[in-house]
Structures are given as C-alpha cells and as structure tokens.
Amino acid sequence: MNVKLNDNVLVITGKYAGKQGKVIATSPKNGTVTVEGVNIHKKAKKARKANEVSQIVEVPAPMDVSNVMVVCEKCEKAVRVKHSLVNGKNARVCPKCGATLDKAFAGKGAKAAVKKEEPKKRVRKRAKKEETAESAGDKAE
C-alpha cells in the first residue's frame, strides 16, 4: 500500500471523484483508507447518559485504497508512487518532479546544514527574604 497516514490524496473514482483530502486512517490488512471530508456517512448516536441528547453524526467511512492517488506537494499533481533509494534507505518518490513524498526523508539534508538555535533554558530567580528588625538584632549579638 503506497498511501500513508497524513498524506494528501485525490479521489479518482466514485461519488467523491475529484475531491482532495488528508488521510486520517489506514488499514493495510483490508486495503482501505479513511480520507477527511470524503465518503461521509450518517450514523445515529444514542444518548448514554441522562444529560446527553441522541443525535445523527456525520462520520468519514473507509474507502478502497485503489480509489485514491497520492498528491505530490511540489508539483501538486496526483501521481503514482515510485520507490527509490534516498540516503541509503528506500523512500517514496514523485516520478514527475523527483520530490520525496516521505516527510522523514524530505528535509534530512536541509536540517543537517542549518542548525536550529535552541531556546534558552529558563532559570527561576528566587526573591531574597527581607530581614526584619528582630532577626537583624539577633545576628548582631
């Protein structure tokens, strides 16, 4: 299965053909993906407590993975995923523009070159206790 969680995908067939959305769940065993805002089904939700109200809820249902295509972030086109070696590891690559589709491999080179400045560690300063007249007199004696 070439589609992963948080991928941007385009639906190519069915009622929702042409819509884009983010993958919110995958099921490789069943070969299905759940896309945000696509394949919406209505489901009755029963009140479980005395203060709750029964209602009809809209829930995105899973659809077959063959009905979606991954959208490349650089060229913004739906592409078939190509696998190739990137930094010695197998990664998903766009065949049209050559961009890496895996977010783990996409910024590796750029992150190593530019070092992020870490935030300064916060130190809490404690207020000094004011000396009272009695304690000042005790110290003098």
Query: How many domains does the structure of the chain reveal?
Result: 2
**pLDDT attached to residue 113:** 43
Decide if 137 is inside a domain: no
DSSP 76-108: --EE--EEEEETTEEEEE-TTT--B--HHHHTH
What is the structure's pLDDT at 26? Answer: 94
**Does 139 reside within a domain?**
no
- Domain with 85, as residue range(s), is 74-112
Q: What is the pTM of this model?
A: 0.66
Q: Answer with the one of 71, 98, 129 that is the final residue of a domain.
A: 71
- Tell whether 82 and 103 lie within a shared domain: yes
Q: Express as a percent the part of the chain with pLDDT over 70.
A: 82
Q: How far is CA 35 from CA 21, 28, 109, 140, in A?
A: 6, 14, 31, 77
Last residue of a domain, one of 71, 100, 127: 71
Are the CB atoms for 106 and 89 separated by under 8 Å?
no
Residue 80 lies in a domain: yes
Confidence at 127, pLDDT banded by 50, 70, 90 = confident
Give me the mean pLDDT over the 114-121 stretch.
66
Residue scoring higher pLDDT (70 or 139): 70
Q: Is 35 exposed, middle or buried (0-12, 13-18, 19+ CB in 10 A)?
A: buried
CATH number at residue 23: 2.30.30.30
pLDDT in tens, 44-59: 999 999 999 999 999 9
